[in-house]
Structure 1
Amino acid sequence: MAFILKFLLAILAVGLTAIYLRFTILLNAKRNKPLRHGRRNPNEPTHLMIVLGSGGHTTEMLSMLSRSVQDEDQSQRLHWNDYTHRTWVVSSGDSLSAARAEEFEKMAAPLSTQEGLMMGKVKRATDNGPGTYEVVTVPRAREIHQSLATAPMTSLTCMQACRNVLLKDTTTTREGHGGQAGERDVPDLILVNGPATGTIMVFTSLLLRFFDVKGVSTRGKMRTVYVESWARVKRLSLSGKLLRRVVDRFLVQWPQLVREVGGSVEYLGVLVQ
């Protein structure tokens, strides 16, 4: 009996060590990035996912994106059409955020046309048009005034929906490059700024990377960026506390938060406009 107990404890210790080492690799900020032969190569699709919250979260996210696509400094500008496909994620019942995402696409896409990307007299020969986008809806992780006792079940439902969205598109190859022009792949980059749905999305992507589903970890996919709300001046939000150690980049908008939190937290200035 003692031998069996020691054997089981040994297996448990080995298993926990393996899990720890696996997460250490996954959470390494220097982990592999998606391999590309060019930022706008049509044979290597790029996929951006933006998770919107309701109200203030959506307003801040769209404000940050609006500022980045219109930045006068070309080195800092986000060229919207560099992402051949964009997925906007909204929570069920949030028709306003869905409509605002549509409005943003109509504004941003023309800014990155071939004519707008002229550098002197040379145009970008690799310009492939505005790309494609879609707005998808997932169940809310937790409704307003919902009992905490039922929150785990709705969070699991949300997680399942997030998994389906993350794996909705995959290429026919697993070497890090799109197999054919026009193919869509899993998200290269997931951008969130605080809503519960965004938190669930990040943890879902972490699980997919842990098990290397569809080769997402091997191919350097599903990199995550979290931007803390401008309203968080002295301490992190609950989402920030949960995600600080698991996202690839964690950005705050007040310098004192860097001193308060430390670690890999980054301050790049106020990002909203």
Structure 2
Amino acid sequence: MYLVYRRYRQCPERSKLNEVRTEPASIVAVVGSGGHTREMLRLMSALSGNYSPRHYVVAYTDSISENKVHSLEDNLRKKKNLKNEYLIHKIPRCREVNQSWFTSFVCTVYSVLYCIPLMFICRPEIVLCNGPGTCIPVCLIGWLLKFIGFVKTRIIYVESICRVERLSMTGKLLYNFADNIIVQWPELQVKYPKCEYYGRLV
């Protein structure tokens, strides 16, 4: 996907990145559920083989998304002749449907702690997410890794196509947090100046 490539090249270490652009770039993609899964898999299907290994993060209880990831990778292997260099990692959900805010907070803290060793192992150069609350712990640890200089992780958040007038809760939380917030409706870019608009992506 050219947008990920473009954002990756425009980071402060641009000159170094240009020298190694043909080398693999580890990417973590946070896969939500339902529409989020469909949109994320469309984004991932557009990436070249340079984005490898591909780490998919899904919630423990989301077996449907896990199966869809396997199907996507099988198709990529057949159509694009990509190597199956991908892994699926399962993490606790931050919040289940109808769960109270207090217990959701506890679950979120647990999920953040759970993601620490995972992100150290993945060492992602790019974190790609598009809306599910599951991405908050991943993005937080990714930011911390960059802050301490462990790995120069770039966080790219693509807002769901369903969001026309306002950012989702996840988008608002990541607004001053992610390196790039990409929206798919011009109205959102007008309302949120830090956002980037390139038309419809999914």
Counterparts of residues 38-187 of structure 1 (less than 5 Å): 38-41=20-23, 45-66=24-45, 69=46, 78-79=47-48, 81-113=49-81, 130=83, 132-169=85-122, 186-187=123-124
Which residue in the other structure is 1:122 paired with?
none
Asked if structure 2 preserves the Cα contact closer than 8 Å seen for 1:110 and 1:130, the reply is: no
Structure 1 unmatched ranges of 5 or more: 1-28, 70-77, 114-128, 170-185
Aligned-pair identity (%) = 35
Which residue in the other structure is 2:162 paired with?
231
Amino acid at match of 1:266: E
Amino acid at match of 1:162: C
Change in 2 beyond 3 A, CA 1:210/1:235: same
Equivalents in 2 of 1:136, 1:145: separation in Å? 25
Asked if structure 1 preserves the Cα contact closer than 8 Å seen for 2:143 and 2:155, the reply is: no
Instruction: Determine helix, strand or coil for the equivalent of 1:149.
Output: helix
Counterpart pick for 1:193 among 130, 140, 159: 130
Query: Which moves more between the two structures, 160-169 or 86-95?
Result: 160-169
Instruction: Determine helix, strand or coil for the equivalent of 1:82.
Output: coil
TM superposition shift of 1:37? 4.0
Equivalents in 2 of 1:222, 1:86: separation in Å? 14
Equivalents in 2 of 1:97, 1:255: separation in Å? 29
Counterpart pick for 2:185 among 249, 254, 259: 254
Query: Which moves more between the two structures, 89-98 or 52-61?
Result: 52-61
Q: How many residues align?
A: 192
Instruction: Determine helix, strand or coil for the equivalent of 2:86.
Output: strand
Asked if structure 2 preserves the Cα contact closer than 8 Å seen for 1:83 and 1:131, the reply is: no
Instruction: Determine helix, strand or coil for the equivalent of 1:259.
Output: helix
Instruction: Determine helix, strand or coil for the equivalent of 1:168.
Output: helix
TM superposition shift of 1:149? 1.3
Change in 2 beyond 3 A, CA 1:255/1:247: same
Asked if structure 2 preserves the Cα contact closer than 8 Å seen for 1:84 and 1:131, the reply is: no
Which residue in the other structure is 1:204 paired with?
141
Structure whose CA Rg is larger: 1
Equivalents in 2 of 1:144, 1:229: separation in Å? 19
Structure 2 unmatched ranges of 5 or more: 1-9
Change in 2 beyond 3 A, CA 1:100/1:131: closer
Compute the RMSD of aligned alpha carbons. 1.9
Equivalents in 1 of 2:77, 2:27: separation in Å? 14
Amino acid at match of 1:31: P
TM superposition shift of 1:86? 0.6
Between 1 and 2, higher relative CO (CA 8 Å, sep ≥ 6) is seen in 1
Equivalents in 2 of 1:205, 1:64: separation in Å? 20
TM superposition shift of 1:164? 1.7
Amino acid at match of 2:59: S
